[in-house]
Amino acid sequence: MRWRLVAIASFVSGLFGFILWEIVIAVWIARMSRPVVTGNSLLLLTGFVPLLAAAIAGFFVYRHTSRRRKLQALLSIVMTLVITAGSYLLGSRLLPHQLSVVRECKAPCV
């Protein structure tokens, strides 16, 4: 297996997916004129950004390996999604005010 290729492609794609995801949320969602509610479908649609980054990484690894292509591509997709989710969780713990979407509640928010 080409572990370095899988690891580097997953890491780069995971960080790229996280950064692009945050840019989409910050520019498209947070700057909207109407407030973001909990069940907003636009916020849910932004979840496709990391999935797209993972698919691109999986395709790249699949095309650049000679043996066990499907296993390496699947491993790359899973690692990319884990790195993206881990980056978001780490970023939300370290920078809670910059990586949050302001929600407006009719009842008192907890």
Residue carrying the six token digits 């797209």: 52
Measured in degrees and rounded to the nearest 5, phi and psi for residue 6 equal -65, -45
- Is residue 16 within 8 A of residue 93, CB to CB? The reply is no
**Is residue 23 one of the residues assigned to a domain?**
yes
Do the domain assignments include residue 106? no
Q: What is the pLDDT of residue 59?
A: 94
101 within a domain of the structure (yes/no)? no
What does pTM read for this prediction? 0.78
pLDDT tens by residue, the chain, 110 residues: 688 999 999 999 999 999 998 888 777 776 666 655 555 677 778 889 999 999 999 999 999 888 888 999 999 999 999 999 999 888 888 887 766 655 555 666 55
Is residue 21 classed as helix, strand or coil in its secondary structure?
Answer: helix
Q: What is the tally of structural domains in the chain?
A: 1
Token pair for 110: 């907890």
Residue 32 has phi, psi (to 5 degrees) of -70, 155
The range of the structural domain enclosing residue 63 comes to 3-32+39-94
Residue 99 within any structural domain of the chain: no
Question: For position 93, what pLDDT does the model report?
Answer: 86
